[in-house]
Chains A and B, each alone.
Chain A
Amino acid sequence: MTSTMSPVPEDLALHGTLSANVVGFSRHLRRRGIGVCPSETAAALGALGCVDIGDEGQFRSALRICLAKSLKEQQLFDDCFDHYWRMWDRAGELNRPAPDADTGKAGRADTLPVQLTLREWLSIGDGATEEEEEETAAYSPIEVVTHRDFAGLQADELDDMSRVVEEFARALARRLNRRYRKLSGRGRIDLRRTLRTNLRRGGELVDLVFRSRRQRKLKLVVLCDVSRSMDLYCRFLLQFLYAFASAYRRLEVFGFSTSLRRLTPTLREGEWSHVLAGLSRDMPEWSGGTRIGACLADFADSWSESLVDRRTAVIILSDGWDTGDPDMLSHAMARIRRRAFAVLWLNPLMGSPGFRPETEGMLAALPHIDLLAPAHNVAALRDLAKSLGRLERRGTVRRPYAHLASSTENESEPQATLTGPNAPSSIANLRALEEESAFRTSS
């Protein structure tokens, strides 16, 4: 680097210097989390050849189009741009080829928070990156944290955990996407229909009729309890849903405590911190009491018609601590169950060894549930994909607790008959559930 470094961008254009700077800037962006690859840097240099780089607006705009490839990255880019190119201005003022770090810092400590010199920008490892690398190493043994109950996490474990939760959400979404993928090609030829349609052409098989096997992917509607009793789990469940929503399109998310709110649009709003702010804006009654029955009834009234069909699994994330009317809950559950493909209830409390689904709310809901499963740690969430798959293949008993419904409140809903040796009988089944959940936590 020579004395050509000066505050005005025109001078940066002098041979080699500009490209060196663009390369340095790309590296800077990479460090800030924008995955710029060499071909993009090359494209950026090409682009600068097509614009008037003397004009800062154009210079910036061209680089942004070439290097920042999402809304989030554009925002990051905007932060980095000033940071980086202003540094060049200062480098010009210092007017020395490669000022060393100390002088740079001491001389300009008052102007900008981060006073890094040229050499530091262009060198590979600075403090921040090393720290990041350590972090990466720390959360790589995912299995270790997988089985930890969310509730028992220390403050410093929270961040690691949320990374793991996000990773798993994406993995789960990938798995669901894969599982329900349409068969490749057009399916099998329907011989009988092919022959029949081609009869009028003298039996020549001109048009082939395919047996369409378009299997639609499963839609998910998640109703997440955000009341106070769920506080410990909410953060992770919502983050899980956030990551899941970005990877799985057929997902609707609602939050409820004392009233029901649709969260789907907010969950898709970009960065997690931003989403979190949006969620607390959407849910003024966050951490309030619980009225599961009323909220589910509200869902059944206003949403289930448009969102729930035979290809939709409704997943309720709640501990079942309800202060409302159990009849109302049971009635609402029945209505949702009638429209849906399956109703799953994920209960974080099932992770604790002494769990029995004995809260009033839980008991009222049980008869209408196809699967009751734990959701207290990542491993439990991971099992969700398997459970959904099993339900799809009809490998499980539907509404295993249906007989628990008292005959008085069970209007039009016919009693489901349980068949097979695995049909659970009320108390024995609850025991089995208990053992299974104990097994899960210990394994």
Chain B
Amino acid sequence: MPNPETELVQRQLADHGYIADADISMSLHLARSLRKPLLVEGPAGVGKTEIAKVLARVLDTDLIRLQCYEGLDTSTSLYEWNYQRQLLQIRMEEEEKGRTLEQKEAHIFSEPFLLKRPLLQAITHHRPPVLLIDELDRADEEFESFLLEVLSDWQITIPELGTITATHIPYVVVTGNRTRELSDALRRRCFYLWIDYPDFDKELAIVRSRVDGIDAQLAEEICRFMAGARQQQLEKPPGVAETLDWARALVTLHRHRLDVATVEETLGVVFKDYHDITHVKQSLAEFLESVGVRSTLAQRGHTEADA
């Protein structure tokens, strides 16, 4: 018996061009109803970041994004005092005798002088936004524990201003590429979703919904090629992002079928590693054959004749 609510989520996502399976729509449904952060992990290019974007569109709210990197600290993620503005303000008020020193100080440490960074923005937003914390595994462990504190208390203390409590609790999506194991404490606080490479049918549906004017046959061949490519021992297996790029590139080039020449020309769109490209190139004809692109040999004869 299908759940009308998860089905609704699935349909809403599809309306915004995101093909979700049961697990994805279930976890979004739960994260939305219970307002818990959703931790999304999976290989590169399977649409982890996209989930947050599409969630924001479905909920018709704003997306606030915090891109993590090594060395990310509180001043870039939380808030910073607008030092320049404070200084100029002091300069302007120098002649003014009306206010006491304390008043002046309180003034320059008030909200207009506060530069809100994503985390503070998210909890003080006028309505619940989607907060995307992207690639948290790239940030240092210290930042992770700090984030944990914010995610559990929903309040931020600024020494000069006092404690700011969230006006709304945002919908949080945390993504990770597993370059570092995230802490257990963080995992336990979130719902967890693992997104793997899509199977053939799902990928086909994605390609057909996202690439306008694609030939049905070409879409199928592309998806079969990708599924086969991910079976190979590659340094960087291509993700869905690559599939879409490739499909769009082929549509732009007005290609309707895959053949050796076409694939060779556009290989750089799919594989992003020198070793992978050489590896695939070496046995391209056989590979195409093995993933069931039947016309390969005929096509090759054809292109050679053309040349």
Contact = CB atoms under 8 A, between A and B. Distances in A.
Contact of B39 (A46, A57, A69): A69
Contacts of A39: 188-189
B11 interface: no
B34 A52 contact: no
Contact of B3 (A36, A46, A52, A206): A52
Interface string B1-24: 111011000000000000000110
B174 to A, nearest CB: 12
Interface string A189-218: 000000000000000111110000010010
A249 B26 contact: no
Task: Name the residue in A54, A61, A265 with the highest tally of chain B Cβ atoms < 10 Å from its Cβ.
Answer: A61
B143 to A, nearest CB: 12
B182 to A, nearest CB: 8
Interface in B68-124: 70-71, 73, 75, 83-84, 87-88, 91
Contacts of A54: 1
A203 B189 CA distance: 50
B158 to A, nearest CB: 17
A417 interface: no
A265 B91 CA distance: 57
B157 interface: no
Interface string B232-268: 0101000000000000000000000000000000000
B192 A65 contact: yes
Interface in A54-106: 54-55, 57-58, 61-62, 64-66, 68-71, 73-74
Interface string A40-62: 10010011001110110110011
Contacts of A207: 84
Interface in B146-192: 178-181, 184, 187-192
Given A46-B34, A177-B141, A206-B84, A247 B41 contact: no
A54 B2 CA distance: 10
A35 B27 CA distance: 20
Interface string B57-68: 000000000000
Given A37-B188, A247-B181, A265-B235, A65 B1 contact: no
Contacts of B190: 69
Given A52-B3, A265-B235, A204 B188 contact: no
Interface string A166-199: 0000000000010001101010000000000000
A268 interface: yes
B26 A65 contact: yes
Contacts of A17: none
B205 interface: no
B35 to A, nearest CB: 10
Given A246-B181, A247-B181, A66 B3 contact: no
B26 A61 contact: yes
Q: Output the residue of A65, A214, A246 with the most chain B CB within 10 A.
A: A65
A71 B41 contact: yes
Contacts of B233: 282
A66 B191 contact: yes
Most buried by A among B5, B41, B91, B188: B188
Given A46-B34, A58-B26, A246-B181, A51 B3 contact: yes
A182 B69 CA distance: 13
Given A65-B193, A69-B187, A249 B180 contact: yes
Interface in A236-283: 246-247, 249, 262, 265, 268, 282
B53 interface: no
Contacts of B29: 50-51
Contacts of B217: none
B30 interface: yes
Nearest to B5: A50
B77 to A, nearest CB: 14
A62 B30 contact: yes
B188 A57 contact: no
Given A205-B87, A247-B181, A249-B179, A70 B41 contact: yes
Interface in A142-175: none
B33 interface: yes
B192 A47 contact: no
B1 A55 contact: yes
Contacts of B48: none
B26 to A, nearest CB: 5
Interface string B175-215: 00011110010011111111000000000000000000000
Given A61-B23, A69-B187, A204 B235 contact: no
Contacts of B34: 43, 46-47, 50
A282 B88 CA distance: 63
Contacts of B70: 217
A64 B24 CA distance: 12
Nearest to A266: B233
A61 B22 contact: yes
Contacts of B193: 65
B224 interface: no
B144 interface: no
Contact of A70 (B30, B87, B192): B192
Contact of B140 (A61, A181, A214): A181
Contacts of B2: 52, 55
29 contacts: A35-B188, A36-B188, A47-B30, A50-B30, A50-B34, A51-B6, A51-B29, A54-B1, A58-B3, A58-B26, A61-B27, A62-B26, A65-B30, A65-B191, A66-B191, A69-B188, A70-B187, A71-B194, A74-B192, A74-B194, A177-B140, A184-B73, A204-B91, A205-B87, A206-B88, A246-B180, A247-B181, A249-B179, A262-B235
Leading 10 A-B pairs by shortest Cβ distance: A69-B187, A69-B192, A50-B33, A52-B3, A61-B26, A65-B27, A65-B191, A47-B30, A55-B1, A206-B84
Given A50-B30, A55-B1, A65-B26, 12 more contacts: A39-B189, A51-B3, A51-B6, A54-B1, A61-B27, A66-B30, A69-B187, A71-B41, A214-B71, A249-B179, A262-B235, A268-B178
